[in-house]
């Protein structure tokens, strides 16, 4: 029996060690000397990613781009850590606290899942500064928290209009990763935009998983199945807000010889070469701008806090034209954009 316990202990220890290996993103120090403007304060930035982490070619990569820019232009020292699918609240708190303990003064938490843990870590560490992307709730509110949110509904409105203008069948689709209020904001804008163009348009809507199951953001097989269903029942354009599952939507679009719309980053640039030509546009959410603003302002000695909304007006959300597939309708889209900026169109935030 003792033998059993010993082996079990060794196994568990090995398991934990390996899991830890997988978790750490790796530290990289950004050029020690700050060449530009000597007066600037050198800060240390820790970034905690959402499920998917760096390399999802979507949401997290956009945040990573902001961090990379800060590293090369501002010379800040950075450390990254990624979340694990299905982890609990304590794991997120622990991750933020570890970054603080390791001497990182500015912590960026990517994704609304961090709301509660940022709120707690901010309270526990009043000297550190936090930024959270995609959350403006009371949970994460604090004097040392910068809440970076985006008007995804406005950007989605534009791509919804693009989908309706491009659709020949009068039938379009929306694949959401996980049924959360945030993703519903995408849906609301998309539907409103499509209906503004063609009020009789048929819109198929599907969420891959229900919270607390967040695997819908990382399951390309499910994304493919859902999009296949939409194309086979007559849709010719599908917009996805499903993070890493979006790759499956593009594969399905390619197989059906139809169109797809990307999200968060300009996916016609980042997606694999064989599916690039199905992506007519992407709803760009400039998480990188938000992250960079937070770090830049901190190096200038001004700590951001409170909620800042990045919308169409401020250029925080936009649509992409890479590939030239929507050049013919660009004038119409820009007209909608202008109307939203001028306040003539109010885009709903809930479907």
Q: Rounded to the nearest whole angstrom, what is the least distance from the CB of residue 137 to other proteins in the complex? A: 20
DSSP 180: -
Q: Rounded to the nearest whole angstrom, what is the least distance from the CB of residue 245 to other proteins in the complex? A: 8
DSSP 40: S
The helix/strand count (H/E) of the chain reads as 11, 13
Please report, as ranges, the residues that interact with other proteins according to CB under 8 A: 3-4, 7-8, 11-12, 14-16, 18-23, 25-26, 51-57, 61, 82, 84-86, 179, 204-210, 213, 215, 218-222, 224-226, 228-230, 232-233, 244, 247-248, 251, 272-275
Residue whose CB is less far from other proteins, 288 or 293: 288
Q: Rounded to the nearest whole angstrom, what is the least distance from the CB of residue 57 to other proteins in the complex? A: 7
Q: Rounded to the nearest whole angstrom, what is the least distance from the CB of residue 84 to other proteins in the complex? A: 7
Residue whose CB is less far from other proteins, 42 or 179: 179
Residue whose CB is less far from other proteins, 72 or 233: 233
Residue whose CB is less far from other proteins, 224 or 286: 224
Is residue 159 within 8 Å of residue 264, measured between CB atoms?
A: no
- Which of 153, 147, 175, 151 lies closest to 262 in space, CA to CA? 175
d(C-alpha 192, C-alpha 336), whole Å: 12
| Residue 129 CB contacts under 8 Å (≥ 6 apart), including other chains | 105, 106, 107, 144, 145, 146, 298, 303, 305
Residue whose CB is less far from other proteins, 229 or 309: 229
Residue whose CB is less far from other proteins, 11 or 102: 11
Q: Rounded to the nearest whole angstrom, what is the least distance from the CB of residue 61 to other proteins in the complex? A: 7
- Cβ neighbours around 231 below 10 Å, total: 24
Q: Rounded to the nearest whole angstrom, what is the least distance from the CB of residue 335 to other proteins in the complex? A: 33
Residue 150: enclosing H or E segment and its boundaries?
strand 145-150
Tell me which residue has tokens 């890479």.
Answer: 322
């Amino acid at each position: 029996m003792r033998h059993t316990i010993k082996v079990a202990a060794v196994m568990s220890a090995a398991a934990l060690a390996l899991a830890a290996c997988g978790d750490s993103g790796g530290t990289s120090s950004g050029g020690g000397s700050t060449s530009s403007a000597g007066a600037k304060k050198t800060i240390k930035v820790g970034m905690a990613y959402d499920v998917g982490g760096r390399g999802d070619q979507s949401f997290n990569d956009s945040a990573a781009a902001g961090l990379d820019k800060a590293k090369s232009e501002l010379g800040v020292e950075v450390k990254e850590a990624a979340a694990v699918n299905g982890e609990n609240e304590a794991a997120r708190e622990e991750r933020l606290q570890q970054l603080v303990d390791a001497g990182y003064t500015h912590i960026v938490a990517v994704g609304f899942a961090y709301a509660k843990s940022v709120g707690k870590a901010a309270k526990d560490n009043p000297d550190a500064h936090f930024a959270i992307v995609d959350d403006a709730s009371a949970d994460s509110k604090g004097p040392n928290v910068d809440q970076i949110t985006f008007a995804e509904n406005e950007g989605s409105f534009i791509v919804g209009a693009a989908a309706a203008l491009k659709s020949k069948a009068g039938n379009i689709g929306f694949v959401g990763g996980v049924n959360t209020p945030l993703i519903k904001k995408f849906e609301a804008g998309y539907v409103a935009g499509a209906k503004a163009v063609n009020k009789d348009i048929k819109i198929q809507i599907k969420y891959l998983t229900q919270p607390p199951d967040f695997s819908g953001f990382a399951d390309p097989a499910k994304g493919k199945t859902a999009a296949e269903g939409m194309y086979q029942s007559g849709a010719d354009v599908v917009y996805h807000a499903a993070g890493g599952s979006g790759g499956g939507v593009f594969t399905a679009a390619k197989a059906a010889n139809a169109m797809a719309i990307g999200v968060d980053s300009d996916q016609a640039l980042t997606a694999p070469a064989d599916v690039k030509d199905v992506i007519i546009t992407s709803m760009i959410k400039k998480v990188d701008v938000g992250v960079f603003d937070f770090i830049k302002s901190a190096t200038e000695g001004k700590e951001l806090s409170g909620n800042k909304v990045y919308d169409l007006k401020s250029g925080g959300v936009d649509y992409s034209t890479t590939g030239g597939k929507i050049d013919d309708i660009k004038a119409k889209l820009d007209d909608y954009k202008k109307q939203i900026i001028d306040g003539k169109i109010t885009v709903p935030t809930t479907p």
